[in-house]
Amino acid sequence: MPAHRPTAVHVESPRSDPLLAVRGLRVSYGGVDAVKGIDLEVGQGEAVGLLGANGAGKTSTLRAISRLAATSGTIDFCGRPLVKASADSVARQGLVHVPEGRRLFSSLSAEENLRTGAVARGRRPEVFTLDEVYDLFPALVALQDRPAWALSGGEQQMVAIGRGLLAAPRLLLLDEPSLGLAPVVVTAVYRAVASIVDRVSVILVEQNAALALEVCDRAYVLAAGRITLAGRPEELGDREALMASYVAPPATDPARPAERPGR
Protein backbone atom coordinates (compact mmCIF):
# COMPACT_ATOMS: atom_id res chain seq x y z
CA MET A 1 0.00 0.00 0.00
CA PRO A 2 1.55 3.37 -0.91
CA ALA A 3 2.03 5.85 1.90
CA HIS A 4 -0.85 8.25 2.19
CA ARG A 5 -0.16 11.59 0.57
CA PRO A 6 -2.72 14.29 1.33
CA THR A 7 -2.90 15.49 -2.29
CA ALA A 8 -5.81 17.81 -1.59
CA VAL A 9 -3.84 19.84 0.94
CA HIS A 10 -2.62 23.20 -0.18
CA VAL A 11 -1.75 25.08 2.91
CA GLU A 12 -2.42 28.77 2.57
CA SER A 13 -0.67 31.39 4.57
CA PRO A 14 -2.82 33.99 6.26
CA ARG A 15 -2.45 37.47 4.82
CA SER A 16 -0.87 39.15 7.83
CA ASP A 17 1.90 37.94 10.16
CA PRO A 18 0.46 35.00 12.04
CA LEU A 19 -1.01 35.52 15.47
CA LEU A 20 -0.50 31.81 16.08
CA ALA A 21 1.99 29.56 14.28
CA VAL A 22 2.04 25.85 15.12
CA ARG A 23 4.73 23.59 13.64
CA GLY A 24 5.16 19.85 13.95
CA LEU A 25 2.64 19.56 16.79
CA ARG A 26 2.32 16.10 18.32
CA VAL A 27 0.13 14.96 21.19
CA SER A 28 0.34 11.45 22.64
CA TYR A 29 -1.50 9.83 25.53
CA GLY A 30 0.56 6.84 26.58
CA GLY A 31 0.47 4.62 23.54
CA VAL A 32 -2.13 6.70 21.64
CA ASP A 33 -0.80 9.23 19.11
CA ALA A 34 -3.71 11.67 18.93
CA VAL A 35 -1.97 14.40 16.87
CA LYS A 36 0.81 13.30 14.56
CA GLY A 37 2.80 16.36 13.61
CA ILE A 38 0.59 19.13 12.25
CA ASP A 39 1.28 22.69 11.09
CA LEU A 40 -1.32 25.41 11.30
CA GLU A 41 -1.51 29.18 11.40
CA VAL A 42 -4.03 31.79 12.44
CA GLY A 43 -3.61 35.33 11.11
CA GLN A 44 -4.59 38.47 13.00
CA GLY A 45 -8.37 38.76 12.84
CA GLU A 46 -8.86 35.37 11.20
CA ALA A 47 -11.50 32.79 12.06
CA VAL A 48 -10.06 29.36 11.35
CA GLY A 49 -12.10 26.17 11.46
CA LEU A 50 -10.71 22.85 12.66
CA LEU A 51 -13.00 20.14 11.33
CA GLY A 52 -13.03 16.36 11.53
CA ALA A 53 -14.81 13.29 12.80
CA ASN A 54 -14.90 11.89 16.36
CA GLY A 55 -11.43 11.12 17.61
CA ALA A 56 -9.65 13.02 14.82
CA GLY A 57 -7.56 14.99 17.33
CA LYS A 58 -9.38 18.34 17.33
CA THR A 59 -9.70 18.73 21.10
CA SER A 60 -6.16 17.45 21.61
CA THR A 61 -4.91 20.15 19.24
CA LEU A 62 -6.75 22.88 21.16
CA ARG A 63 -5.55 21.50 24.49
CA ALA A 64 -1.98 21.49 23.19
CA ILE A 65 -2.23 25.10 22.03
CA SER A 66 -3.63 26.24 25.37
CA ARG A 67 -1.00 24.15 27.17
CA LEU A 68 -3.43 21.72 28.80
CA ALA A 69 -1.81 18.74 27.05
CA ALA A 70 1.87 17.84 26.82
CA THR A 71 3.23 18.20 23.29
CA SER A 72 6.22 18.30 21.06
CA GLY A 73 6.63 20.78 18.23
CA THR A 74 6.56 24.56 18.37
CA ILE A 75 3.73 26.98 19.14
CA ASP A 76 4.34 30.71 18.69
CA PHE A 77 1.68 33.12 19.90
CA CYS A 78 2.15 36.81 19.10
CA GLY A 79 5.71 35.91 18.05
CA ARG A 80 6.58 34.30 21.42
CA PRO A 81 7.19 30.58 21.96
CA LEU A 82 4.55 28.94 24.16
CA VAL A 83 5.68 25.37 24.58
CA LYS A 84 7.10 25.88 28.07
CA ALA A 85 4.31 28.21 29.23
CA SER A 86 1.66 27.10 31.75
CA ALA A 87 -2.05 27.05 30.93
CA ASP A 88 -2.60 29.97 33.33
CA SER A 89 0.07 32.10 31.74
CA VAL A 90 -1.20 31.56 28.18
CA ALA A 91 -4.71 32.50 29.30
CA ARG A 92 -3.32 35.69 30.84
CA GLN A 93 -1.66 36.42 27.48
CA GLY A 94 -5.09 36.27 25.86
CA LEU A 95 -5.17 32.73 24.51
CA VAL A 96 -8.58 31.75 25.82
CA HIS A 97 -10.03 28.24 25.59
CA VAL A 98 -13.79 27.54 25.77
CA PRO A 99 -13.63 23.77 26.34
CA GLU A 100 -15.75 20.94 25.05
CA GLY A 101 -18.42 20.27 27.68
CA ARG A 102 -18.51 23.88 28.97
CA ARG A 103 -16.97 23.20 32.42
CA LEU A 104 -18.81 25.82 34.45
CA PHE A 105 -18.70 26.18 38.24
CA SER A 106 -21.96 24.41 38.93
CA SER A 107 -22.87 26.12 42.21
CA LEU A 108 -22.08 29.64 40.94
CA SER A 109 -24.75 31.65 39.15
CA ALA A 110 -24.65 32.34 35.43
CA GLU A 111 -23.33 35.85 36.03
CA GLU A 112 -20.78 34.74 38.61
CA ASN A 113 -19.50 32.24 36.06
CA LEU A 114 -19.32 34.99 33.44
CA ARG A 115 -17.35 37.21 35.81
CA THR A 116 -14.74 34.52 36.47
CA GLY A 117 -13.53 35.19 32.91
CA ALA A 118 -12.20 38.57 34.04
CA VAL A 119 -9.57 36.82 36.20
CA ALA A 120 -7.60 35.81 33.10
CA ARG A 121 -8.03 39.30 31.62
CA GLY A 122 -5.86 40.77 34.37
CA ARG A 123 -5.04 44.34 33.39
CA ARG A 124 -5.46 43.87 29.63
CA PRO A 125 -8.19 46.06 28.12
CA GLU A 126 -11.67 44.61 27.75
CA VAL A 127 -12.61 43.15 24.37
CA PHE A 128 -16.26 42.49 25.29
CA THR A 129 -18.01 44.04 28.27
CA LEU A 130 -20.55 42.16 30.39
CA ASP A 131 -23.33 44.19 28.75
CA GLU A 132 -22.05 43.21 25.31
CA VAL A 133 -22.09 39.55 26.34
CA TYR A 134 -25.75 39.96 27.37
CA ASP A 135 -26.40 41.64 23.99
CA LEU A 136 -24.90 38.61 22.26
CA PHE A 137 -26.92 36.18 24.40
CA PRO A 138 -30.15 37.93 25.41
CA ALA A 139 -31.49 34.64 26.82
CA LEU A 140 -28.99 35.00 29.68
CA VAL A 141 -30.40 38.28 30.97
CA ALA A 142 -33.25 36.61 32.84
CA LEU A 143 -30.99 33.78 34.02
CA GLN A 144 -28.17 35.77 35.56
CA ASP A 145 -28.88 34.58 39.13
CA ARG A 146 -29.63 30.96 38.25
CA PRO A 147 -26.98 28.43 39.34
CA ALA A 148 -25.10 26.86 36.47
CA TRP A 149 -26.31 23.36 37.38
CA ALA A 150 -29.89 24.51 36.68
CA LEU A 151 -29.12 25.90 33.20
CA SER A 152 -29.88 23.97 30.01
CA GLY A 153 -27.00 22.76 27.83
CA GLY A 154 -27.49 25.67 25.45
CA GLU A 155 -27.59 28.22 28.25
CA GLN A 156 -24.43 26.71 29.71
CA GLN A 157 -22.76 26.97 26.32
CA MET A 158 -23.69 30.66 26.14
CA VAL A 159 -22.23 31.27 29.61
CA ALA A 160 -19.05 29.37 28.70
CA ILE A 161 -18.55 31.48 25.57
CA GLY A 162 -19.42 34.68 27.44
CA ARG A 163 -16.91 33.83 30.17
CA GLY A 164 -14.26 33.37 27.46
CA LEU A 165 -15.12 36.76 25.98
CA LEU A 166 -14.77 38.46 29.38
CA ALA A 167 -11.21 37.07 29.53
CA ALA A 168 -10.38 39.56 26.72
CA PRO A 169 -9.23 37.00 24.15
CA ARG A 170 -6.65 37.84 21.52
CA LEU A 171 -7.33 34.33 20.23
CA LEU A 172 -10.44 32.42 21.26
CA LEU A 173 -10.43 28.61 21.02
CA LEU A 174 -14.00 27.32 20.74
CA ASP A 175 -14.45 23.54 21.05
CA GLU A 176 -17.69 22.28 19.44
CA PRO A 177 -20.07 25.01 20.59
CA SER A 178 -22.98 23.27 18.81
CA LEU A 179 -22.45 19.86 20.42
CA GLY A 180 -25.63 18.31 21.77
CA LEU A 181 -27.79 21.40 21.27
CA ALA A 182 -31.24 21.59 19.68
CA PRO A 183 -31.25 23.24 16.22
CA VAL A 184 -32.92 26.43 17.47
CA VAL A 185 -30.25 26.82 20.15
CA VAL A 186 -27.48 26.10 17.64
CA THR A 187 -28.87 28.96 15.56
CA ALA A 188 -28.73 31.33 18.56
CA VAL A 189 -25.19 30.27 19.47
CA TYR A 190 -23.96 30.61 15.89
CA ARG A 191 -25.58 34.03 15.50
CA ALA A 192 -23.35 35.08 18.38
CA VAL A 193 -20.30 33.28 16.96
CA ALA A 194 -20.77 35.19 13.67
CA SER A 195 -20.56 38.48 15.63
CA ILE A 196 -17.63 37.29 17.72
CA VAL A 197 -15.48 36.43 14.68
CA ASP A 198 -15.88 40.04 13.48
CA ARG A 199 -14.02 41.24 16.60
CA VAL A 200 -11.73 38.42 17.75
CA SER A 201 -9.41 35.88 16.11
CA VAL A 202 -10.87 32.42 16.58
CA ILE A 203 -10.11 28.74 16.14
CA LEU A 204 -13.46 27.00 15.88
CA VAL A 205 -13.59 23.23 16.32
CA GLU A 206 -16.69 21.69 14.78
CA GLN A 207 -17.91 18.36 13.50
CA ASN A 208 -20.65 20.23 11.66
CA ALA A 209 -18.57 21.46 8.72
CA ALA A 210 -21.37 23.42 7.01
CA LEU A 211 -21.98 25.43 10.17
CA ALA A 212 -18.30 26.22 10.70
CA LEU A 213 -17.66 27.14 7.07
CA GLU A 214 -20.38 29.81 7.25
CA VAL A 215 -18.40 31.80 9.82
CA CYS A 216 -14.75 30.87 9.12
CA ASP A 217 -12.23 32.51 6.76
CA ARG A 218 -10.27 29.27 6.37
CA ALA A 219 -10.43 25.74 7.71
CA TYR A 220 -8.31 22.67 8.24
CA VAL A 221 -9.64 19.13 8.27
CA LEU A 222 -8.05 16.66 10.69
CA ALA A 223 -8.33 12.89 10.27
CA ALA A 224 -6.57 10.48 12.61
CA GLY A 225 -4.23 13.19 13.86
CA ARG A 226 -3.14 14.53 10.47
CA ILE A 227 -4.30 17.47 8.37
CA THR A 228 -5.89 16.06 5.24
CA LEU A 229 -7.35 19.23 3.70
CA ALA A 230 -7.03 22.98 4.15
CA GLY A 231 -8.39 26.03 2.42
CA ARG A 232 -11.05 28.72 2.26
CA PRO A 233 -14.73 27.75 2.51
CA GLU A 234 -15.30 28.13 -1.24
CA GLU A 235 -12.39 25.76 -1.85
CA LEU A 236 -13.74 23.21 0.65
CA GLY A 237 -17.31 23.49 -0.56
CA ASP A 238 -17.23 20.29 -2.62
CA ARG A 239 -19.05 18.03 -0.18
CA GLU A 240 -17.58 14.81 -1.52
CA ALA A 241 -13.99 16.01 -1.22
CA LEU A 242 -14.72 17.34 2.24
CA MET A 243 -16.29 14.08 3.41
CA ALA A 244 -13.43 12.06 1.87
CA SER A 245 -10.96 14.16 3.85
CA TYR A 246 -12.71 13.13 7.10
CA VAL A 247 -11.69 9.53 6.48
CA ALA A 248 -8.49 8.56 8.20
CA PRO A 249 -5.57 7.99 5.84
CA PRO A 250 -4.65 4.29 5.68
CA ALA A 251 -2.03 3.65 8.35
CA THR A 252 -1.39 -0.04 7.80
CA ASP A 253 -1.35 -2.65 5.06
CA PRO A 254 -5.03 -3.62 4.56
CA ALA A 255 -3.98 -7.28 4.77
CA ARG A 256 -3.13 -6.63 8.42
CA PRO A 257 -5.61 -5.55 11.08
CA ALA A 258 -6.36 -1.83 10.86
CA GLU A 259 -4.93 0.56 13.43
CA ARG A 260 -7.66 1.48 15.88
CA PRO A 261 -7.51 4.62 17.95
CA GLY A 262 -8.00 3.79 21.61
CA ARG A 263 -11.31 5.48 22.37
Ligand X SMILES: Nc1ncnc2c1ncn2[C@@H]1O[C@H](COP(=O)(O)OP(=O)(O)OP(=O)(O)O)[C@@H](O)[C@H]1O
What single DSSP character describes residue 147? B
CB of residue 123 to ligand X, shortest distance in Å = 33
Q: Contacting ligand X (CB under 6 A), which of 26, 58, 121, 226?
A: 58
Q: Are 82 and 76 in contact (CB under 8 A)?
A: yes
Contacts of 19 (CB under 8 A, 6+ apart): 42, 43, 44, 46, 77, 78, 170, 171, 201
Closer CB to ligand X, residue 101 or residue 147? 101
User: φ, ψ for residue 251 (rounded to 5)?
Assistant: -105, -15
Element at 33 (helix H, strand E): strand 32-43
29 near ligand X (CB under 6 A)? yes
Closer CB to ligand X, residue 123 or residue 263? 263
Closer CB to ligand X, residue 48 or residue 127? 48
Binder of residue 149, out of Mg ion, ligand X, none (CB less than 5 to 8 A by kind): none
Distance CA 222, CA 27 (A): 13
Q: What amino acid is encoded at 147 in this protein?
A: P
Q: Label residue 262 exposed, middle or buried (CB < 10 Å: 0-12, 13-18, 19+).
A: exposed
Instruction: Give the interface size with ligand X as a residue count (CB under 6 A).
Output: 16
Contacts of 199 (CB under 8 A, 6+ apart): 127, 128
Considering only residues 149 through 208, tell me which ones interact with ligand X, judged by CB under 6 A.
207
Binder of residue 57, out of ligand X, Mg ion, none (CB less than 5 to 8 A by kind): ligand X
Contacts with Mg ion, residue ranges (CB under 5 A) = 58-59, 100
Neighbouring CB atoms inside 10 A of 7's CB total: 8
54 near ligand X (CB under 6 A)? yes
CB of residue 53 to ligand X, shortest distance in Å = 7
Contacts of 214 (CB under 8 A, 6+ apart): 190, 194, 233
Q: Contacting ligand X (CB under 6 A), which of 42, 56, 173, 227?
A: 56
Binder of residue 54, out of ligand X, Mg ion, none (CB less than 5 to 8 A by kind): ligand X
Closer CB to ligand X, residue 7 or residue 54? 54
CB of residue 31 to ligand X, shortest distance in Å = 9
Angle (CA) 175-176-179 rounded to 5° is 145
60 near ligand X (CB under 6 A)? yes
Distance CA 196, CA 121 (A): 17
Binding range to ligand X, per CB under 6 A, among 54-62, 119-127, 211-219, 229-237: 54-62
Binding range to ligand X, per CB under 6 A, among 11-19, 49-57, 73-81, 158-166: 49-57
Closer CB to Mg ion, residue 174 or residue 215? 174
Closer CB to ligand X, residue 51 or residue 90? 51
Using CB under 6 A as the criterion, which residues of the chain lie in contact with ligand X when the complex forms? 29, 32, 34, 52, 54-60, 100, 207, 261-263
